[in-house]
């Protein structure tokens, strides 16, 4: 009985080929669309504009709080790095590592700490968030 069921379930080569064909048909449609979407989220005119706006606001904020030019630029570079850590993400995926969302928040924390340090050096006190 069990053998009979197995025999029924076993697919013929033509059926298997049809399945593989459907898989590749779907892959050839979906994969390019997915890759395009991921790339457009970082390397498109719209993305460039929004990242530029955010980076400029960040830079201006640093300058207004009295940060030296060099430090402000360097910190903004790091800030952009957070936006575009796509390469890092893909690298980790390629190596089969789990992508850890914490890594970007760690950078955020590091940036925040550096800002606080610099502001403290300048004698400006920062209000702590009470969440």
Report which secondary-structure segment, H or E, holds 2: helix 2-9
Instruction: Please state the closest distance from residue 97 (CB atom) to another protein, in A.
Output: 12
DSSP 43: S
- Using CB under 8 A as the binding rule, whether residue 14 contacts another protein is answered as yes
Instruction: Please state the closest distance from residue 54 (CB atom) to another protein, in A.
Output: 9
Selected range binding another protein among 3-11, 77-85, 104-112, 114-122, rule: CB under 8 A: 77-85
Q: Which residues contact 47 (CB under 8 A, 6 or more apart)?
A: 40, 41
Nearer to another protein, 19 or 120 (CB): 19
Token couple for 24: 């590749």
| Beta carbons of 80 and 51 less than 8 angstroms apart | yes
Q: Which of 61, 66, 73, 108 binds another protein (CB under 8 A)?
A: 73
Q: What is the 3-state secondary structure (H, E, C) of 97-128?
A: CCCCCHHHHHHHHHHHHHHHHHHHHHCCCCCC
Q: Rule CB under 8 A: which residues touch another protein?
A: 13-14, 16-17, 20-21, 24-25, 27-28, 31-32, 35-36, 39-40, 42-45, 47-49, 51-53, 55-57, 59-60, 69, 72-73, 76-77, 80-81, 84-88, 90-91, 94
């Amino acid at each position: 009985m069990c053998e009979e069921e197995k025999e029924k379930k076993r697919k013929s080569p033509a059926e298997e080929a049809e399945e593989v064909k459907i898989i590749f048909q779907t892959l050839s449609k979906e994969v390019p669309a997915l890759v395009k979407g991921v790339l457009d989220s970082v390397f498109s005119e719209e993305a460039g504009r929004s990242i530029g706006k955010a980076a400029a606001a960040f830079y201006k904020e640093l300058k207004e709080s009295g940060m030296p030019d060099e430090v402000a630029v360097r910190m903004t570079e790091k800030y952009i790095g957070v936006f575009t850590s796509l390469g890092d993400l893909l690298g980790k995926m390629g190596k089969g590592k789990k992508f850890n969302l914490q890594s970007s928040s760690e950078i955020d924390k590091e940036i925040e700490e550096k800002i606080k340090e610099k502001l403290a050096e300048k004698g400006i006190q920062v209000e702590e968030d009470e969440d």
